[in-house]
Structure 1
Amino acid sequence: MTLPYAFTNSSDEDNGGADSSPPTSATPSEADSPDTSYVPILLTPELFAENITAKVLRTAQTALKALPDFFPEYVLQDPGCDGRYTLREADFWTCGFFSGTLYTILERAVRFPQSLQLPPEINALQFHEQLLILCRAWAEPLYAMDQRTDTHDIGFIIMPALQMDWELFGNRGSLDSIVRAARSLATRYVPSARAIRSWDLLKKKDIEILDQEHNMIVIIDSMCNLDLMYYASHHMQEPALAEMATAHAETLLRSHLRPEKVVLSDKSKVSYTGPWYSTCHVANINPKTGTLKRRLTAQGYAHESNWARGQAWGILGYAQTYLATKDQRFLHASCGLAEYFLQRLETSPACVTSGRHVPLWDFDAPIDDKNNIIRDSSAGVIAANGMLILSQVLAGSGQGLLASRFREAALVIVQDTISFALAPEKAKLACASNGHIRAEDSTPGSTFEGLLKYGTANNNEQARKRYANHGLVYGDYYLAQFGNRLMKMGLV
């Protein structure tokens, strides 16, 4: 089936906002054609530079003593800060991302060794051996988490490192852990609501939801944990896991996606013209019926606003869910979320001059200080990964124009993110006389352990912990993943 798209700016293309039903198939506005255009890769070499490898290696070495109790989460970027990762307790939802970033660099060493740009004094095989030892050390504490039933984020915890370990080395222990984690996540599935409970409770300064009998909290981030269930289901031939994941994705089409007006403002651009969507962050669902009780936010600006990272989780999560199911509703959902995300980037306030494709932390939040505009670089790179998946899917089904649309958009987002948010404090690799490879500041005393700056974990004014303008471990992970996706697609 061909998805709808158009070149034209026409008021009768406004088919969003009037219907709150979930995405369905749509009739194309015109026949699609193969993608015969050459799309230049504009990304700077920084995406694959020695700096990326050196920073990840250095954190892996210097923070190793914190295992198994603590993992990197964020890097403060305010003047006077030391540029080191702030570590978070191991049961926090972000604990799997640094291990995943380390394995992403290892995947480059195994599959794309030419991409590492190692200095001549570094022996590639020695580097691989030392990196593998570090990867295993950082993965080891994650195995103990696969039976946790207290979190829906077990996919984020387990998959980034252990999926790579299984696929690169055939480590059956990693696959077994993935399967156990998927079964653990399945215990949070509520059949009557056809959804997986995200949080057991919600406690903010302005709102508390504590009663699970009459409330079920589901967040848009949960879409990116479904890949764990599909992966385990397909490997172990346990269809029930996939069925739960699909039911959850179906429920969120109704509970989280908000129809938005389709605006085709640029006659020269191809755009997806099916329904466009924003997403809420949190939905409170009746656990007995699955009906929506209330939409709200925990990390965005306001309950009705468009929190950028939530939109990005939706783009990526529904793209991954389409890959697992081939259900067109999920493809349409991801395309509609992606197109609205791009429209919000392209219509950023005039005061957003540089880095216009680095998202505001919330697209609807007021800008109080034009000299300190709060962004979320992690939202951009998460969305860009989702758009690359969309481009592959659409190209594979002969829809080259839309494929090119989302591929080019993803590249522009990451290019702008590198130009605007890549930390200028660089690191480089060095080799001791005993062959031990280490990393050090390129400029002595100029340290920032994260790859990207201008991330925002949670800027909601009612949050119990409010923090913005910093490096974020998952921003770094998805930036590195984007580079690997490009190499797998043969684009670099």
Structure 2
Amino acid sequence: MNNFFIFICLLLMIATMSCDSQQKNETLIERSFNTAIPLYDNLLKTTAENLEDYPHSLYPDGSIKYLQIDEWTGGFWPGILWYMYEYTEDEKWKAEAIKWTESLASNQYNTAHHDIGFMMYCSYGNAIRFLDDPNYTEILVQSAKSLCERYNKQVGSIQSWNTRKSKGEINTWEFPVIMDNMMNLELLFYASKVTKDSSFRDIAISHALQTMTHHVRPDYSSFHVVNYDPKTGKTLHKQTLQGFSDNSTWARGQAWGIYGFTMVYRETKDRRFLSTAIGMADFFLDHPQLPADKIPYWDFNVGEEGYDPDWDYRKEMEVSRDASAAAITASALLELCKYVDAEKQYKYESAAYDILSALASEPYLNIEHTNPYYLLKHSTGNFPSNNEVDVPLIYADYYFLEALHRLQQRKKDNT
């Protein structure tokens, strides 16, 4: 009887929160998209003449940092344009989204790294929601085939980076797999569904299981990089390249894990993946080092005793936030809350709203046009390399807009 009473109370709390926050949700959603419109207009003007340079961040002098078509973030800009079209229904954004999406077509044959899922599913994957174009489907299937070329049966994983020099005492990563790679599996699930070829799905599940086993620690924190022996499949080393130290928890890596395992559960309904997503989400939200506004520092263990970096540690910058990790997590939580019990649903939905409320306000939202191009400020790319520290990042904007759309849909579902 007591458990039933608690359950009913939680349902009432969720319903009350949904009604009370409806106007607030609309306000933060409207404010964010209205802020984005002139910024992305500016970005379109600067990129109009060259469809081979994809906006990524800013240089210290304020000029736009572009990456080329073969780099990992090319798909986020067309994806942003699709989200702008979805919200505004303005054909201008659709026309630009089509143009920028189709500029990536040659990437369907890119086998140089694992990021083809980011590049092609964030662009073409959004496009197919609005355009029934068989050519787009063919491009996505070929992209999935290219990604599968990096799969090693012995390891049971997709190789993220090519064999490369490592850091610290380890000389070489033979077969490095990074947590980020979980995000590319959605492309494989899509390809399996449209082709009826289960091999894509099998590879995605195998990769997710290996990541769950070797990247996720018993407390549901995570390693960034796991290095395998490609001949035997043996785990050789576990590291955290973009985090504070090898045994620390890099905030964006944790966010990739929450999002990735939630998505894999959606596609498989395998509760092992749901349990992993829940554990990683709870680690993130319950961590004593998470600031009150829920925008994490770039690593959860910066400066803590027992976490020793093997790089030049610049103490004065230890508290840099990562808005990109927050945006990814908020988007993930708004999906994860659909698969859990009432208590967890309330926790995750509330946390996502808190994160988005913070991101939709100063100092994170670029309301004053501190820079003329990007929506979110204060993200961190690779702190240990002193690369992209406290800057706007295109993928922070992408996942922020995605999360706003998911929040809007949750509002509709709860009314």
**Of 327, 333, 357, the match for 1:415:** 357
The residue correspondences of 1:104-115 to structure 2 (distance < 5 A) are: 104-110=83-89
* TM-score normalised according to structure 2 size: 0.88
Aligned match of 2:309: none
Please state whether the residue corresponding to 1:408 is helix, strand or coil: helix
- Structure 1 residues not aligned, in runs of 5+: 1-27, 111-127, 261-276, 427-445
The residue correspondences of 1:242-257 to structure 2 (distance < 5 A) are: 242-257=201-216
Cα shift readout 1:357-379 (whole Å, capped 9, x = no counterpart): 11100111129667983011000
Question: Quick check: 1:155–1:228 contact (8 Å CA) kept in 2?
Answer: yes
2:331 counterpart of 1:385: yes
Please state whether the residue corresponding to 2:75 is helix, strand or coil: helix
**Of 224, 243, 257, the match for 1:281:** 224
Residue 91 of structure 1 aligns with an amino acid whose one-letter code is D
Aligned match of 1:325: 268
Residue 103 of structure 2 aligns with an amino acid whose one-letter code is P
CA drift at 1:45: 2.6
**Of 112, 120, 131, the match for 1:158:** 120
Aligned match of 2:56: 73
CA drift at 1:288: 3.1
More moved, 59-68 vs 366-375 = 366-375
Please state whether the residue corresponding to 1:490 is helix, strand or coil: helix
CA drift at 1:338: 0.2
Aligned match of 2:307: none
CA drift at 1:46: 4.2
Aligned-partner Cα distance in 1 for 2:171–2:316: 35
Please state whether the residue corresponding to 2:236 is helix, strand or coil: strand
Aligned match of 1:406: 348
Aligned-partner Cα distance in 2 for 1:366–1:387: 28
Aligned match of 2:311: none
Residue 173 of structure 1 aligns with an amino acid whose one-letter code is N
The residue correspondences of 1:184-203 to structure 2 (distance < 5 A) are: 184-203=146-165
Residue 248 of structure 1 aligns with an amino acid whose one-letter code is H
CA drift at 1:209: 5.3
Larger helix share, 1 or 2: 2
Aligned match of 1:337: 280
2:143 counterpart of 1:181: yes
Residue 348 of structure 1 aligns with an amino acid whose one-letter code is Q
The residue correspondences of 1:24-63 to structure 2 (distance < 5 A) are: 35-37=11-13, 38-39=16-17, 40-41=20-21, 42-43=24-25, 45-49=27-31, 50-63=34-47
Aligned match of 1:450: 374
Cα 1:56/1:204, change in 2 over 3 Å: farther
Please state whether the residue corresponding to 2:321 is helix, strand or coil: coil
CA drift at 1:208: 6.3
**Of 146, 150, 153, the match for 2:108:** 146
Question: Quick check: 1:282–1:295 contact (8 Å CA) kept in 2?
Answer: yes
2:167 counterpart of 1:230: no
RMSD: 2.5
Please state whether the residue corresponding to 1:107 is helix, strand or coil: helix
More moved, 51-60 vs 277-286 = 51-60
Aligned match of 1:476: 397
CA drift at 1:466: 2.4
Question: Quick check: 2:327–2:403 contact (8 Å CA) kept in 1?
Answer: yes
Aligned match of 1:23: none
- Structure 2 residues not aligned, in runs of 5+: 305-313
Cα 1:402/1:375, change in 2 over 3 Å: same
Residue 388 of structure 1 aligns with an amino acid whose one-letter code is L
Aligned match of 1:216: 175
Aligned length: 392
CA drift at 1:150: 1.1
Q: Kindly, what percent of the aligned residue pairs are identical?
A: 29
Please state whether the residue corresponding to 1:155 is helix, strand or coil: helix
Question: Quick check: 2:108–2:146 contact (8 Å CA) kept in 1?
Answer: yes
The residue correspondences of 1:362-373 to structure 2 (distance < 5 A) are: 362-366=299-303, 373=319
Please state whether the residue corresponding to 1:359 is helix, strand or coil: coil
Aligned-partner Cα distance in 2 for 1:62–1:36: 49
Residue 332 of structure 2 aligns with an amino acid whose one-letter code is G
Question: Quick check: 1:188–1:197 contact (8 Å CA) kept in 2?
Answer: yes
Please state whether the residue corresponding to 1:149 is helix, strand or coil: coil
Cα shift readout 1:3-35 (whole Å, capped 9, x = no counterpart): xxxxxxxxxxxxxxxxxxxxxxxxx9x996673
Question: Quick check: 1:296–1:304 contact (8 Å CA) kept in 2?
Answer: yes
Cα shift readout 1:300-354 (whole Å, capped 9, x = no counterpart): 111111100000000000000000100000000000000000012xx228xx6xx
* TM-score normalised according to structure 1 size: 0.75
Cα 1:208/1:107, change in 2 over 3 Å: farther
CA drift at 1:176: 1.2
Question: Quick check: 1:44–1:415 contact (8 Å CA) kept in 2?
Answer: no
Aligned-partner Cα distance in 1 for 2:166–2:74: 23
Cα shift readout 1:132-184 (whole Å, capped 9, x = no counterpart): 22112211221110111111110000011211211211122211111111111
Cα 1:168/1:425, change in 2 over 3 Å: same
Aligned-partner Cα distance in 2 for 1:327–1:377: 30
CA drift at 1:58: 2.4
CA drift at 1:287: 2.2
Larger gyration radius, structure 1 or structure 2: 1
Residue 324 of structure 2 aligns with an amino acid whose one-letter code is S
Question: Quick check: 2:28–2:357 contact (8 Å CA) kept in 1?
Answer: no
Cα 1:331/1:220, change in 2 over 3 Å: same
